[in-house]
Structure 1
Amino acid sequence: MRRISPPSASMTDLPRNLGLSSTVMRKLGHGAMRAARHDLVEGLAFTDEGVGPAVLVLHGGFGGIDQGAILAEAALPPDRAFRRIIVARPGYFASALAGRETPVAQADAYAALLRRLGITACLVVAISAGGPSALQFGLRHPDLCRGLVLISACAGPLPVPEAALKRLKRFKLFARLPGLAALGRWALRRNPRRAAARGISDPDLCAATLADPVAGPLLARLQRSVMTAIPQRLPGTLNDIAACQGFTLPAALPLTAPLLLLHGTADPIVPVDQARALADRLPQARFVPLTGAEHMALFSHLHPIRQTVAAFLDAL
C-alpha cells in the first residue's frame, strides 16, 4: 500500500465550471420541473431545493453536486418531501479546499453553511469518502444533527489498494487529455454492463441492477458523471484519499445522534468491519449488513436501503 498526499496548490487551481449563483431546472420523475438554486456560500458550492425536513447530502470520491443528487434520489424514500442541501465537498468544483482538507474542517464548513441558510437541524446522508466529515459533523455539531445515515462509508483508517491507485493514474491521464475521457464515455455508452461490473462483480446481480427501472438509470447516471469534468473532481478526490488513510475517531466517542450504517458484506473498497466496529461502540447505532453487496450497494440493494432509511426516519 502507498500513501497518497493531499493535492498541490496547482492541482486545486484547476478550472471549475459549476454554473454558480444561478437557477437551474431539475426534471422530476413524473415529468414536472422544479427550480434548484446553485450558489456559493461559506466557500461551499451547493444546491438548495425542495421543502420539508432538511437533509444534508455528502457525496463520495470522484463526486460533486451531480453525484450528491444521485445519492439523495437513490437513498431517500421517494414518497416523502425533503429540503435537500447537496454540497460539493471541499476540493470539488467551486468548493474551496485550502484550509478545509480535514474532516473536522469540512464538518465545520457544513455547519456554517447550514446556519447561514437558517437551518436549525438536519439529517445527514453520506456515502463512501463522505463518511469521515459526516461523523465529525455529528460529533462537533450535535445541535444541528438529527441523525446520520452512512452508506458504504469510511469510518476508520483506509489503506488504498493497488487497483485503486491504478485507476487514479488513469483518471489523472484523462484530466490532462480530454480526448481520452471522451473515448471512455464512448466506451461506456457502448458497453454499460462492463463498467457496472467493476462495482458489481456478481453477473446476475449486475444484470438485475441494470435492468431495475429505478436502480439501473441511477447507476448509469453515476457512471456517466464520473467520466465528465474530471479535472474538477480530482483535487477533492486526492484529498479524500489522504484524509481517509489517516482517519480515526477518538477513543471516547460522544456521538449522540441516531446512526444508521448500511454496508455491503463484500465491499472491497471500505471493509464492512469498519461499520460493524463503529456500531458496536454506539448504543444508538443500527448496523445493517447488505449480504453480498459491494461498494455499489446503493444501487445493487437500492430498494432494501430505501425501506431501511424510511424506517429509520420514522423512528427519529
Structure 2
Amino acid sequence: MKSRLLPRMAFLLVVLGLFVLGGILAWFQSWRTARLVELYSASQMVTTPSGPVEYILKGEGPAVLVFHDAPGGYDQGIALAGFLAEEGFQVIVPSRPGYLRTPLENGGTPANQADAAAQLLDALDIEQASVLAFGWGGPTALEFALRFPQRTTALVFVGAAVGRLSPPISPAVPFPQAVGEGLTGDIGSWLYARLAENDPAQALRAAFSISSTGSQSDCEAWTGLVLDHPDQAALFQSMVLSLAPASPREIGLRNDLLQVRALPEMPLKTIQAPALLIHGGLDKAIPVAPVEAAKSQLPNAELILFPDDGHLLFLGRGAAIAQERITTFLKKYSTPHGE
C-alpha cells in the first residue's frame, strides 16, 4: 500500500509546487506590467536631433538639469533631486541613453549624452541650467560644462565620478549582480523591492555592504538612522524602485560600464562654472581620491567631504546637510555667474 501512496503523494506535491510557482510568476508579471505602466505614464518624450529622449519636469523656477546614476532612469533622478522643486527650482531629469525609453542609439558616450541633454533644453526653450549629477552621471555633466559653457550656470556632483578612475570600478548595484540582467534581473529587482518593503532593515544592510567600506557597526548605526527618519526611509523605497524592473535599464548599465573603462582625460581646468563636489569618505563605488584630484583642477570648486558616509549620501547622518548645501549653492548661482 505504501508503495502505491508514495508516487501519488509525490505527484500531488509536484502539482502543488507548480501551482505555487505559477501563482508567484503571475504575481511577478502583474507587478512588472503595473510598474512599467507607472513608469511610462509619469514621463514625457521629446524628439531631438540625437533621437527620442525620455524626461520628467517638476517645479518652477531656475532650471536644474539632473544626470542620474547607474543603474537608474528619470525616476531615480527625480527621487533624489525632487526636493529642489520645493525650493523654487524647475528640475529636468532625462533618462540617459540606454535607460528606460531613451535609446542607446542616441549616442552612448558622455559627450553624446551631453549633446542630447542640450537638445532637450532646446526643445523645452531653456537657455541655461545648473547641472546636478549623481554617481555615473558625473562624466556627462562634465562634458555638458565643457561643450556648453555659456549654458552652464553651476555644477553639483553628489557621489559622482568626475574624471578617469584607475583602475575603473563598477557602479554600486544594491541587489545581487547575479540577478542583474534579463528576466532574472527583473525577478531579482522585484524580490529586492519586496524585501525593502517587508524587511527594510535587511534591504538597507545589503545596500550598505555594496555602497560603503564601513564596518558592521557602521552598517547597523546607518540602518537604524535611516529607519528612524521617515523621509529617508521613504526615499530608500523610491531608490529601490528606481532599480526595477531591471531589464529596461540593462542596456544603459552595460554602456556605462564600457564608458567608465574608456573615459578620456578631461580638461577640467578649462571649466569656469562654479562647482560643488559632495562625497563620502567611505564610498565603495567611487573612491574619494579621484574626486579630491578633480577638485584641485577645477578652477572654482568646493569639496564637502562626509568622512563617515558612503555612496548613498542622501541617506544617513549627512543627508539633510548635503541637501541644504546644494540648495544654498544653486540659489547663489541660479542666474549666470551669480548676476
Decide: shared fold, TM above 0.5.
yes
1:249 counterpart = 2:265: yes
Matches within 5 A, 1:16-55: 17=36, 24=42, 38-42=44-48, 43-55=52-64
1:172 counterpart = 2:181: yes
Identity %: 29
Report the 3-state secondary structure (helix = DSSP H, G, I; strand = E; otherwise coil) of the residue aligned with 1:182. Answer: helix
Alpha carbons of 1:46 and 1:194: their partners in 2 closer, same or farther (altered >3 Å)? same
Matches within 5 A, 1:88-107: 88-107=95-114
Alignment partners' CA distance in 1, 2:310 and 2:77: 19
Alignment partners' CA distance in 1, 2:313 and 2:55: 25
Report the 3-state secondary structure (helix = DSSP H, G, I; strand = E; otherwise coil) of the residue aligned with 1:310. Answer: helix
Report the 3-state secondary structure (helix = DSSP H, G, I; strand = E; otherwise coil) of the residue aligned with 1:46. Answer: strand
Return the match for 2:118 from 111, 124, 139: 111
The aligned residue for residue 307 of structure 1 is 324
Alignment partners' CA distance in 1, 2:186 and 2:173: 21
Alpha carbons of 1:181 and 1:49: their partners in 2 closer, same or farther (altered >3 Å)? closer
1:129 counterpart = 2:136: yes
The aligned residue for residue 182 of structure 1 is 190
- Once the 2 structures are TM-superposed, how far is the Cα of residue 54 of structure 1 from its aligned partner? 0.7
- Once the 2 structures are TM-superposed, how far is the Cα of residue 19 of structure 1 from its aligned partner? 7.2
1:209 counterpart = 2:226: yes
- Once the 2 structures are TM-superposed, how far is the Cα of residue 253 of structure 1 from its aligned partner? 3.1
Q: Which has the larger radius of gyration?
A: 2
Higher relative contact order (CA 8 A, sep 6+): 1
Matches within 5 A, 1:130-149: 130-149=137-156
Return the match for 1:276 from 268, 292, 312: 292
- Once the 2 structures are TM-superposed, how far is the Cα of residue 196 of structure 1 from its aligned partner? 1.3
Alignment partners' CA distance in 1, 2:40 and 2:198: 36
Alpha carbons of 1:313 and 1:64: their partners in 2 closer, same or farther (altered >3 Å)? same
- Once the 2 structures are TM-superposed, how far is the Cα of residue 178 of structure 1 from its aligned partner? 4.4
Name which of structure 1's ranges 207-216 and 116-125 shifts more when overlaid on structure 2. 207-216
The aligned residue for residue 191 of structure 1 is 199
Alpha carbons of 1:71 and 1:41: their partners in 2 closer, same or farther (altered >3 Å)? farther
Alignment partners' CA distance in 2, 1:136 and 1:274: 17
Compute the TM-score of the two structures, normalised by the length of structure 2.
0.76
Return the match for 1:221 from 231, 238, 256: 238
Q: Is the 8 A contact 1:126 1:150 kept in 2?
A: yes
The structure in which a higher percent of residues are helix is: 2
Return the match for 1:238 from 254, 271, 296: 254
Aligned pairs, number: 285
Instruction: Indicate the RMSD between aligned Cα atoms, in angstroms.
Output: 2.7
Alignment partners' CA distance in 1, 2:36 and 2:309: 34
1:59 counterpart = 2:75: no
Q: Which amino acid aligns with 2:137?
A: G
- Once the 2 structures are TM-superposed, how far is the Cα of residue 77 of structure 1 from its aligned partner? 7.6
Name which of structure 1's ranges 235-244 and 160-169 shifts more when overlaid on structure 2. 160-169
Alignment partners' CA distance in 1, 2:80 and 2:194: 24
1:40-97 C-alpha deviation (Å, 9 max, x unpaired): 33221001232111111111001011101111135x384x221111110110011021
- Once the 2 structures are TM-superposed, how far is the Cα of residue 176 of structure 1 from its aligned partner? 3.9
Q: Is the 8 A contact 2:190 2:245 kept in 1?
A: no
1:160 counterpart = 2:169: yes
- Once the 2 structures are TM-superposed, how far is the Cα of residue 298 of structure 1 from its aligned partner? 2.1
